Amino acid sequence: MNRSSRYHAGGRQAADLALASPVASAATRQARMSSLVATIIVGSAALAGGIIEINPARAQTDTVAMTPPSCETYQRERPRGGPREQLSQLFGLSIYRWEEADYARYRGLLLACKRTLADFRADLTAPQWETIVDNGVADLKAYTGYVNRLGEPMASQRGLRPRHDQPDPTFAFEALSCDRFSQASIGAWARGGAPGYGPEAPFGVPVSAWAYEVWRAFENRVIACGRQSGSPAEADADWMRAVVVGAEGRAVGEIRQARQEANARATKLDGILGRLAETEQLSAADDLVAALQAAEALAAAGPKLGPADEARVAAARARVTERLRTARGAEAQAWERDRPAREARARQQEEELAGLQRQNRERAAEAAAERDRATQIEAERQADTRAQAERQAAEAEAQRQRDEARRAAERQAQEKADAETAARLQREDQARLATDPCNKIEMRRQLMGAVNAMDRVRFGGRKLLDLTDGRTLPVEPSSARSCLFVADWSSGQRALVTITVRKNSFGDDLIEVSPF
């Protein structure tokens, strides 16, 4: 049957292909399908790898290792090939979890057991058989998704190997009949994927467990069942692979959320069980009660645990409760056994307390007498201090009075000397005024007339009424004379003015008044 005859819509095929875009012809569909599969298969591993989330608190350190069977067991259980998933049981590890070392062990087994295997022919040389084995290993790697359709390694998207206490969900699809796998059921993945399964576990596998290798096992099961089906569309491996990859892309967000919730529940469960496990080292009832209360607080917070986890918590809590009951019984018995010794210790403590109280009273009396003596000594010391302070204060007052009398006499003498000096200076000043040319009446009248004859705008309309106490100032050039006067202005103001008479370049007198 050629490829173009496989793609026809009729009966069951019409319903199964409802999620795909319609095509105009078989040739067009075949060309588009080849391109679609080549593109989606290459990116499917990265897409699935994006939803792999690892909880550091539950790091998988206790991983599963595959164990190759003997040549006889392998020849007996797998004489002529068969489903590749059969290798998972023979080697004790799902083929979707194999690493490079596991493929090397598988290759080594085939090379070592070649003469016991039904596929080995006597006319095959060692290099030929090695080539056949290498091709088989390469096909198995592509089948499991260890490499993509282009032979590129996909180790970064595969995630961690399972622990001993973690079931491998890739075995689940082999238990389902092929009538569960169709394009319609794959499209209904989020609703359970098949009749009888709910949205929390499509095809019987929890949403949080749909990692890269689960999708590859699911894809292989879908393709294998499609080949057994009478539907040409479902029998086409590339077409069904594209359908699975499309469902995988649509499920990314839902898987990520489910994994986060599962990690949160696992972390909560580990915290509760860890706190309850700590009670194995405890024996006191109070410590056990505190551990139970802490576990109850952890159980009340965070996401709700599943029924199986709740049962584990309840069993651990029951063990702690029983341990608490035993501890309380043991403490009650020990309390009764220790009663006579406890009463003897109480009497001894009362006697010791009475003795201590008596000693305390004696020490208190001695301390009170010592305080009285210290108070008396302090009072005597304070009296001596006050008397000495009074004497010093009297001496200081007498000295202050003597100092004030001395300063008053010195002040009077200074004032008298200052008065005499002022009188002498005034007499000398008057004598200088009498002989100063600027103080001559003729000079004062002459300068006052010269100033009043100037432009009165400069003086704001004021006029000099009188000039007194004229003094000659130092002459700068030989042709200038400056006099300092006490001036009375017509505005009623009295101020000092300097009047300077200069010769200009023409020999005329110039009058300068400062300030105006």
Q: Please check the confidence at residue 302 and state whether its pLDDT lies above 50.
A: yes
Query: For the ranges 35-49, 118-132, 237-251, 455-469, which has the lowest average pLDDT?
Result: 35-49
DSSP, collapsed to helix, strand or coil, labels residue 21 as coil
* Choice between 405 and 515, residue whose per-residue pLDDT is larger: 405
Best-predicted range by mean pLDDT (150-154, 176-180, 311-315, 474-478): 176-180
Span 178-194, mean pLDDT?
84
Span 122-138, mean pLDDT?
89
Q: Please check the confidence at residue 368 and state whether its pLDDT lies above 50.
A: yes
Contacts of 423 by beta carbon, 8 Å cutoff, 6+ apart: none
DSSP secondary structure letters along 437-474:
GGGSHHHHHHHHHHHHTS-GGGGTT--EEEEEEEEEPP
Q: What is the pLDDT of residues 68-107, one digit of tens each?
A: 999 988 888 887 667 888 898 899 888 988 889 999 999 9
Model pTM score: 0.51
What was the pLDDT predicted at 456?
67
Query: For the ranges 127-136, 362-371, 451-460, which has the lowest average pLDDT?
Result: 451-460
Per-residue burial over 274-296, b = 16 or more CB atoms within 10 Å of its CB, e = otherwise: ebbeebeebeebeebeebbeebe
What was the pLDDT predicted at 23?
27
Q: Mean of the per-residue pLDDT values for the chain?
A: 78
Q: Please check the confidence at residue 58 and state whether its pLDDT lies above 50.
A: no
What was the pLDDT predicted at 376?
94
**Burial tier of 441 (Cβ tally within 10 Å: 0-12, 13-18, 19+):** exposed
